[in-house]
Each structure stands twice: as C-alpha cells, then as structure tokens.
Chain A
C-alpha cells in the first residue's frame, strides 16, 4: 500500500515536472501573453490613478 502511494505521488511529480519543462520550452512560451496582460494591467492602473487625481483635486 505504501509503495503504491509513493508511486502515485512520484508519477504526479514527474508529470508536473514534465509540464513545467514543456511550459518553459520556447514553442510553448507565454511570455508575449504575460507582457500583453501586464500592459493591460498598466492601462487600468494609469487610468484609475488619473481619475483619482482629478477626484482629489476637485
């Protein structure tokens, strides 16, 4: 029973490791995605701050 549990756990770890390796592979890179959403987040932050400044100054 113990060995069966260990095998399942190490299988999960291997599949997670191989998935991480796949994620880091150039073909599966999502760096462009992260950059795009960070730009989106930056737009939200800047526009919010801009309107906040208008609010404080009125």
Chain B
C-alpha cells in the first residue's frame, strides 16, 4: 500500500488515554504470552502424533493438550477480546473510561490472571489432565475448577465495566443512537454473561463440591448439558469481536464506509437471541436426550447461521461500494481497489475468506444424523482451527497491528507492516496443510484428542499416518507463525513514537448515507434478553427437566491418567 507509515486521519488523532492504554496493553500482553506457550504445546502435539518425537516422561500428551486448549481457546481469546473492547469503548464512548469502568476492568484482569496462573500450575502438575472441556466423571484437582471460577468471574467484572461505560454514554448523550462499537461491545458481553451461567452452575454446584469430596456423585448428563449450554455461545463470544473489527474498522481501513448500521446491529441482536439455545448440536451422539429435542436445536442452530450470511453480504457490499466509488467497474473490479499490502486489511480479510470453508464445515457438523461421520474425529479439530484459530485469530492479529501502537502513541512502521503480511501468509500456508489433513483424515475416522498410536497396525490406522505427518509439517509452519507474531508484538510495543499525523490510527468508519436512521428499537436490551429467556426455556425446559426429574445414577470421581 504505502511506503510511509500507515497514516492517521485527522478525525482520529486524539491520543488514546494513557491510563486506559495500560489496561488494554496488559490484556494484550497476557493474550500473546498465552498464544506463545499454547503454541509450543501445539507444536509438540503435532510432532508426537506425526510419529516424529516422543515426549520426555515428565510430560504427558494429554497434559499438553489440556494446556493447549485452555491457553488458546480460553486465555488468548478472552484477554484479547476484553482488551480490544475496552479500547473501543474508551475511544468511542467518551474518550476515556469512567472511574468505575476502569476499576472493574483492572479488578477483572487481576482475578482472571490469578485464575490463569492457578489453572496453569494445576495443569503442569498433572493434576488436571482432563482437557479443556473437563468432562465428568474425570475429576481434576478442585483448585483447577476454582481457577476456572476466577477466570469467569473476572470476565464478568470486565463485562460490568463495559455496561457501566455504555450507561454513562447513554445518560450524557440523551436522544442519540449509541456508537456502533459500544452497541456491539455491550451485545458481546451480554451474550457472555448469559452463556457463562451454564458453566458457572455446573462448576460451582457440581464439580467443586464433588471434587472436594463433599458430594459423593455427579450427574454426568446434567453437567454436560450445562457445559454445552455455555460451549456454543462461547464461540460467538469469540466471533462477535472479530465481526466488530470487520464491521467498524475494516471499512475505514479500506477508505470506505459502513454498508448498513442497522443491519449490523440486527445481526448482533440475532446472535444474542439465537446463540444460546443450540448446545445439543454438540451432544448429538449422546444418550439421555430425546431425538426430537436434538432436531429442534439443530433447527435453531441453522437459524443462527443467518446473521453470518448477513455479515458475508455486508462485507462484500462494503468492498464493492468502496471500490466502485474509487472508479472500479465490472463484476469484480473492486477487488483490485483493496489495500492488499496493508496488514490491517490483509490479515482480517484472510480470516474472512477462511470463514467460508469454516462455516460450511460447521453447518455439516450440526446436521443431526450426519454428525455421526465427524463426531470426535479430527474433522472437528480441522473445523475449529479454521474458525477460531484462523478467522478469529488472524482478525485479532490484524487488529493488534494498529491497536498496540495506537494506545501507546506509536507508529505502525512499513517494516512491521511487511512482517505482518509475511506472518499472515505463513499462518495461511501452515493452516492449509494442517486443517486440510485434519478434515480429510477425520472424515475417514481418525480420532481427535488421541496420542500417537497405530491401533495395532490396523489398515485404517496405517492409512492415517501420512495425514498426521502433513499435520505435523503444517503445525510446525504455524509455530513459526506464532514466533513471528510474538516478535511483531514486541516490535509494535517498541515502535517509534508518532505525532498527530504518523501515530497509528484507531480506524472507526462512518456509516454510508441511508435513507432512514437506525431504528431505536434495536437498542431495547430488555426485549432481547426476554427473547433469549423464552427461546432457551423452549429449547431446554423439557429435555433438561427430564434429566432433573428422572436423573440417571450419578458417578463417583475417576482419575484415569
């Protein structure tokens, strides 16, 4: 794109509040440290399954796998999201966090970090080799579950800070429509609060008493159902911040405007209402749930595809409108007008493109009886390495390239921009090899979450080995990508200071002119929460009620590792 530092625009060159900047940077540094350690774990896993190394006796495969899942899919994601959202609400809703929001942000950070450290110690001490989903009746050290409580409660505090900043903005801007970033940040944390109720109930009232020995048995199906009530909206908690970057920041970066403010808000409202009542699509192969309820939740799952279809249209429309305004002609001329050499665009765009196979795979996974082909196989692992580990991760990486220098008053230099492009390409290459092999071998039955084995040299298993080798190669390339990203983060932290015209901008797009202003009813949070409650009661009351009224015999604790 440009040979000079990525330019700030006049409207956005207010320096970011220094105190708020510390909060943002704290979250991002923990996030990328988790990515690094989690990446080392992932590398080891790939090499072990590919038959290339053996682990030292002090380390277990499943222990490393637990660390990889927790650090990547809980710590990296949650910390980045909170850091990004706090930056955006400070920037767009007042220019500075109000006292209580800042204090809640820090309190949340402290709690989450205590939990992260405690949880990591438990995992490294082989006290919690239960994987990131910690299914009963595998029983970890009770302090592992306590660590999870710290992380989740900390994230709740962060959410409350965001709600309070939003409320402050509404009070001091009566009659105005809320800034899109604020609306979307509130939507995200509202969904998170609703979703985490499920995992909080099972951890607080089932796992902790049971793992301490105060209660003898645990009802396995109830714990799984509560977990997956949480586990599906969890992925939308990751996706919505990526969509925030796509809807609000990308149009500014490419020199365009937001295609439709109303439809963007509508998409987020649909996510709030439809992300939760769908947990059964993670439980399709289980007993204890009537087939009709599995199918009903499959229908609801397909409905939550709709806001993503809306987002796809909005993204292409933004690119096309912007391109045509710059003189592009023909069906796809606008593609040439996009700033391919700007990592702030290129990395998230790569994420968008990968979401096509990622989403297609997700629809297949949720397809009721078809799930039998892919359940617990490496296909599922291939799927979520496309969704969270590429779409969401590359978008977050793309955001970091401007967010870190912006909050520190520094520049995104051409050198780091170039390294960012290279890092994105490395990521895509590594992920292509690894995820494609995972999908292919998974479809023939190769299991996920399984250490090196040839199943007694059974022919099916022998056929999987070449795929595992390609996965190891892909994983190694990805690890190089992790190292480079970590280097880039440090380079961004130490970038040269900028002045008003060279400091990295916080890209916030304006809306394209619409004939009508955004309808106010989109902001009626009470209605949306009410709708969530209604749909969740509809989708869960009878099947979950059945588990409570006719409970299966519970299970005593098992420590099988």
A residues at B contact (CB < 8 Å): 15-16, 19, 26-33, 35-37, 40, 43-44, 47-48, 51-52, 54-55, 58
Contacts and interface: CB of A to CB of B under 8 A. Distances in A.
Interface string B371-388: 011100000000000000
B443 interface: yes
Given A15-B515, A30-B321, A48 B364 contact: yes
Contacts of B316: 30, 32-33, 36-37
Contact of B331 (A15, A35, A40, A52): A35
Q: Which 9 A-B pairs have CB atoms at the shortest separation, nearest pair first?
A: A33-B316, A36-B316, A47-B360, A33-B317, A44-B360, A32-B320, A32-B331, A33-B320, A51-B364
A30 B313 CA distance: 10
Given A35-B331, A37-B313, A54-B443, A48 B363 contact: yes
Contacts of B361: 47
A7 B313 CA distance: 34
Interface in B349-407: 356-357, 359-361, 363-364, 367, 369-370, 372-374
Contacts of B515: 15-16, 19
Contacts of B367: 48, 51-52
A44 B363 CA distance: 8
A32 B363 contact: no
A47 B364 contact: yes
B309 interface: yes
Contact of B332 (A19, A32, A51, A52): A32
B290 interface: no
Nearest to B445: A58
B360 A43 contact: yes
Contacts of A32: 316, 320, 330-334
A48 to B, nearest CB: 6
B325 interface: yes
Contacts of A28: 321, 324
A15 B372 CA distance: 52
16 contacts: A15-B515, A16-B515, A19-B515, A26-B324, A27-B324, A30-B317, A30-B321, A32-B316, A32-B331, A35-B331, A40-B356, A43-B356, A44-B363, A47-B360, A48-B364, A51-B370
A15 B514 CA distance: 11
A33 B324 CA distance: 12
Given A27-B325, A28-B324, A31-B331, A55 B369 contact: yes
B243 to A, nearest CB: 16
Contact of B373 (A19, A33, A44, A51): A51
Contacts of A35: 331-332
A53 B320 CA distance: 36
Nearest to B355: A40
A43 B312 CA distance: 13
B327 to A, nearest CB: 9
B511 to A, nearest CB: 15
A38 B421 CA distance: 29
Contacts of A52: 367, 370
Contact of A55 (B319, B321, B359, B372): B372
B545 to A, nearest CB: 32
Given A27-B325, A43-B357, A48-B367, A55 B312 contact: no
B377 to A, nearest CB: 12
A55 B373 contact: yes
Nearest to A18: B515
A22 to B, nearest CB: 9
Interface in B439-473: 443
Contacts of A36: 312, 316
A5 B116 CA distance: 63
B435 to A, nearest CB: 14
A44 B515 CA distance: 33
B373 A58 contact: yes
A56 B216 CA distance: 44
Nearest to B364: A51
Interface in B290-344: 309, 312-313, 316-317, 319-321, 324-325, 329-334
Interface in B126-182: none
A10 to B, nearest CB: 15
